[in-house]
Amino acid sequence: MSLVRKFATVGGATLGSRIFGFARETFMAAALGTGPMADVFYAAFRFPNLFRRLFAEGAFNAAFVPLFSKEIEANGVEGAKRFSEEVFGVLFSALLIITIVMELMMPWLVEWIIAPGFADDAEKTSLTIRMAAVMFPYLMCMSLTAMLSGMLNSLHHFFAAAIAPVFLNVVMIAALFYGLWIHADPQTIAWYLSWSVLLAGLLQMAVVYAGVRHAGINIGFKRPRMTPNVKRLLVLAVPAAITGGITQINQIIGQAIASGKEGAIAALQYADRIYQLPLGVVGVAVGVVLLPELARALKGGFAKEAANIQNRSIEFVLFLTLPAAAGLWILSDAIIRVLYERGQFSAENTAVVGSILAIYGLGLPGFVLIKALQPGFYAREDTKTPMRFTMLSVVINSGLAITLFPLIAERGIATAEAAAGWTNTVLLFSTLVWRGHLAWEWALARRTALLLVSTAIMSAALLYAMPYASAWLAPGVPLVQKVVALFGLLGLAMIVYFACAFLIGGADLGMIRRNMKRKPKAPAPPQQ
**Per-residue confidence (pLDDT) for residue 458, from 0 to 100:** 95
* CA torsion through residues 474, 358, 409, 135, sign: positive
Nearest to 67 by CA among 229, 217, 222, 225: 229
**Mean of pLDDT over the chain:** 80
Residue 452 pLDDT greater than 90, yes or no: yes
Residue 515 pLDDT: 45
pLDDT digits (tens, 9 = 90+) for 257-288: 877 777 777 788 788 878 777 776 676 666 66
**pLDDT reported for residue 149:** 82
Nearest to 432 by CA among 264, 258, 307, 329: 307
Lowest mean pLDDT among 15-19, 332-336, 379-383, 384-388: 15-19
State how far the alpha carbon of 210 is from the alpha carbons of 76, 145, 148, 206, 269, in Å.
21, 11, 10, 6, 32
Tabulate helix, strand, coil % of the chain (nearest 5): 85, 0, 15
Per-residue pLDDT tens over the stretch 148-182: 887 887 777 777 777 787 888 899 999 988 988 88
pTM of the predicted model as reported, rounded to 2 decimal places: 0.67
For 487-510, the pLDDT digits (tens) are: 999 999 999 999 998 888 877 766
Residue type for position 522: A
Triad 34, 19, 342: Cα angle to 5°: 35
DSSP state of 379: T
pLDDT tens sequence across 57-105:
555 666 777 788 777 777 777 888 888 888 888 888 888 998 899 889 8
N-terminal to C-terminal alpha carbon distance within the chain: 28
- pLDDT confidence tier of residue 52, bands split at 50, 70 and 90: low
Average pLDDT over residues 116-133: 84
